Amino acid sequence: MKTAKSGPARHVRADLALAGIAFIWGATFVVVKEALLDSSTFLFLALRFSLAGIILAAVLRGRLTRKQPVNWVGGVQCAFLLFLGYALQTAGLRLTTASKSAFITGLYIVLVPLGASLVNRSMPRLAEIAGAAAATAGTALMTSGDWDLHLNAGDILTVGCAVAFTAHMLSVAHYTRKMDYERLSLFQVAGVAAFSWLAAATMETPHIAWSPRLLFGVIVTAVLATALSFLLYTWAQQHTSATRAALIFALEPVFAGLTAWVAAGEAWTVRSLTGAGLILSGIVLVEVKPAPPSRHQEG
């Protein structure tokens, strides 16, 4: 029997799960960077998502046999948008700096509430607008270095990446209400694996040098940053909005900075501390007064 507190409790657990995912993604950034020294990009993604798909299929095999609706269109759509985000981000990184890529990708923090408003034909809440603006400003401070404001081809590709990730988040929020989250999680991971193998064969010259750091990178990102993270993310989207998810994911550069500080002794500057503070304040603006589930659900 559901209690009056069951709804808010689920929202809190969902937000904590999203924060945990942001921590995993932020903490594994260095792991991925090191692994890519021994493998071409799409081949690494293919290995990572294939292993994650095998793990998810094994863990969820009992639940996947349930006779529940399967929305094949939704699964393929979410998988393609997720892959497209990765592909455009990777292509853009070849032509722009890592700091500009990180900031431009982070524009989904603003695009998600705007996109949700267009889909729902409603105005975003003032707290959501203020929170997204603060988080975006914080992301700019944490990721910007000595780069100019002129857009090149790489920057434009990365803008496409931000749009793809925005569409992906809104799609997941929509389809988690039309099919069980276990199947949708597996669809996304297996779909990205398939698209990555295709891209590795057609869009790059695959190369790989098996090494301890590559094996470690594939295993850690497959288990934690992919299988576990996307399962938790898809579950969480049933109980919170895409706008709140986007804001919480803005914690990723904060966690990346903390990891670099602990593991490598990288110092925090006034700029990075200010950026982290703005990101946290943006999240608090939305979390202090959560939107009622019945009034502002993206999808």
Query: So where are the chain's domains?
Result: 11-64+71-287
Q: How far apart are CA 179 and CA 182, in angstroms?
A: 9
pTM above 0.85, yes or no: no
Secondary structure of residue 183 in the 3-state scheme: helix
DSSP 49-97: HHHHHHHHHHHTTTTTTS-----HHHHHHHHHHHHHHHHHHHHHHTTS-
Most confident segment among 146-160, 175-189, 213-227: 213-227
The number of beta carbons lying within 10 Å of the beta carbon of residue 267 is: 7
Mean pLDDT of 93-121: 77
Secondary structure of residue 191 in the 3-state scheme: helix
Q: Could you give the percent of the chain with pLDDT greater than 70?
A: 84
pLDDT per residue as tens digits for the range 232-262: 999 998 888 888 888 888 887 777 777 767 7
Mean pLDDT of 188-192: 94
Tokens of 262: 């602990």
Assess whether pLDDT exceeds 60 at residue 215: yes
Q: How far is CA 19 from CA 25, 36, 144, in A?
A: 10, 26, 23
Q: Given this model, what pLDDT does residue 147 score?
A: 52
Q: How far apart are CA 232 and CA 188, in angstroms?
A: 13
